[in-house]
Amino acid sequence: MRILGISAYYHDSAAAVVKDGEIAAAAQEERFSRKKHDARFPRNAAAWCLAATGGALGEGDCVVFYDKPLLKFERMLETYIGCAPRGLKSFLSSMPLWLKEKLNLKSTLKTELAALGASAAPLLFTEHHQAHAASAFFASPFGRAAVLCLDGVGEWATTSLWLGEGNALAPKWEIDFPHSLGLLYSAFTYHAGFKVNSGEYKLMGLAPYGEPKYADAILDNLIDLKPDGTFRLNMDYFNYEAGLTMTSRRFDALFGGPPRRPESALTQREMDNARSIQQVTEEVVMRLARTAHRELDAEYLCMAGGVALNCVAAGRIIREGPYHDVWIQPAAGDAGGALGAAMAAWHLYYEHPRTAAEVDLMRGAYLGPEFSDEEIRAALDAAGARYRRIDDAELLDRTAALLAGGRVVGWFQGRMEFGPRALGNRSILGDPRNREMQSVMNLKIKYRESFRPFAPSVLYEKAGDWFDLDRPSPYMALVAPVRETIRFPVAEEQLGVFGIDRLNLPRSSIPAVTHVDYSARIQTVHRETNPRFYELIRRFEARTGCPVLINTSFNVRGEPIVCTPADAWRCFMRTGMDFLVAGNCLMDKADQPSVPRDESWEKEIEPD
């Protein structure tokens, strides 16, 4: 039996197939359409998922959508009525789309599914947070766990607690719109001049450069936070309930003026605001996690929803929380709702049993398309690329040598990752020991802000020698400090350095992946899930004594992570990457045909 899960029409649409209870395929539509956070029906992703798992759906299969649109429409109407006459402009802008398309969503879905050869399959619907909770618990290795879902908003829920046990998932309580931790964080994202539903991770990365000067102001004015972590927002400071912006004039007055203009210079205000809301967010999440443990007497915690991607808060739960272990769905945002909807149908609707396993069911999140060596060479030949095809051993040795020599390498291998993180199959790699590498990769290759940190990929067995981490982190979901033993002492002349100037201070023997607060967002690499990437890092360690590589996603700012060999080639040629490794093909930028410089592509990609 195959179950096709679909998420669409808000942001990060995706498709996933659960086959006889196993996660068989999953991918975001953006990777195929090349439109970041693409919200349209995931026809390309769904078509690939079906083709990869047996073709058109047949008798006994089904389709599940991750949302209940009528409940969402009910929330919108009640919100507008409650705010009237304020919000008329927003109401008039959104209603035509709802009346034309979203209220007829079942018919729209049937039409799209017919084009995929899936019109005969029954169509089911989960609730939004139910899909999140299912994606976290049913994919986890735990037999019983508290499940905490935190995001902007689903139908009504913004925060919800569930108890997962066996093949059951029981809702316990929820906090409803407009009181939302995700939207509170997004309000500060907006005020910092970043894009909502896209730039929240930038705000998290900016936070260590600031001081929590406004944390008390947030707690005194914006959020009424209870000891158990439940909360209510003071809506006088926000405009998202019925307006077209996130914040109000009262918000602007409290936090130093109007929102920063996008792409303008970052100031200390944005850094301090980022640090302040990050500190408050961590406090809310910690209180909620402790409450979940106390109320459910659960020794394990699962998390999903966009706020679960706040890996700094997740790292604090690991270090300070009451749980034996925590598991976070790697595709915690809306894309993961497609997978959760399919798993909810398998276990909750069809009532199939579930047995906890020693490892999670995500297969390392390597759930997307892969390409044979013949397909890779055909794409490179069509592009006019000049490459050498070499065997595995030589390829890995040569790539390790290039990285040890300070070269930046595009690494395109195996199945594409599902979720927002590149985990060693669609990655750009570099040497973390190089003091200049963070700035070089940010500005010349990723074309993004210089302050943004890079993640380390480390051999799992060696992680504890370099980071204060005592467990696997295969999905880059946890932040942990670098070990004291590899940190550099702060020189006296550095004590007075603040803000963005701290970026240039070396902080450890792996400075390119050590953030200004001595933290790192860690991926532990395991031989069992990615033997090729594991072996590359092992050979890099043999040359350098360092079992760590910089691992950032294979894309430029504003572009989705590459999916195909042609995508990888285009990105390679548009950037300052030195080498590209695709399958067993090695390409040196210096050997490539000279082509006229064309910057028109930059206009096609909207900055995130």
Which of 152, 473, 523 has its CA nearest to residue 337? 152
Phi, psi of 565 (to 5 degrees): -60, -35
Phi, psi of 12 (to 5 degrees): 55, 55
Asked if 151 and 177 count as a contact pair (C-beta separation under 8 A), the reply is no
Half-sphere exposure in the Cβ direction for 446 (13 Å, CA): 25
Q: Which residues lie below 8 Å from residue 187, measured CB to CB, with a gap of 6+?
A: 238, 240, 246, 247, 251
300-304: strand order across its sheet: 168-176, 157-165, 144-150, 300-304, 325-328
Q: Which alpha helices (DSSP H) does 54-104 contain, by range?
A: 69-83, 88-100
Q: Is 256 left (phi over 0), alpha (psi -120 to 50) or beta?
A: left
Catalytic residue among 11, 128, 191, 293: 11
Asked if 263 and 192 count as a contact pair (C-beta separation under 8 A), the reply is no
Query: Helix count (H) and strand count (E) of the chain?
Result: 20, 21
Which of 34, 38, 36, 18 has its CA nearest to residue 26? 18
Query: In this structure, which amino acid lies at residue 265?
Result: A
Residue 77 to residue 274: CA distance in whole angstroms: 33
Asked if 212 and 265 count as a contact pair (C-beta separation under 8 A), the reply is no
Residue 162 to residue 300: CA distance in whole angstroms: 12
Q: Which residues pair with 552 in a beta bridge?
A: 428
Asked if 424 and 527 count as a contact pair (C-beta separation under 8 A), the reply is no
Residue 353 to residue 168: CA distance in whole angstroms: 9
Active site residue 11: yes
Residue 426 to residue 560: CA distance in whole angstroms: 11
- To the nearest 10°, report the CA torsion of 338, 310, 278, 313: 130
The 3-state DSSP composition of the chain as helix, strand, coil percent (nearest 5) reads: 40, 20, 40
Query: In this structure, which amino acid lies at residue 75?
Result: R
14-19: strand order across its sheet: 22-28, 14-19, 2-7, 62-65, 123-125
Q: Which residue has the tokens 């309930």?
A: 241
Report the residue count for the chain: 608
Asked if 335 and 419 count as a contact pair (C-beta separation under 8 A), the reply is yes
Q: Which residues lie below 8 Å from residue 572, measured CB to CB, with a gap of 6+?
A: 410, 580, 587, 589
Residue 343 to residue 198: CA distance in whole angstroms: 26
Residue 79 to residue 362: CA distance in whole angstroms: 38
DSSP 443: I
Catalytic center residues: 11
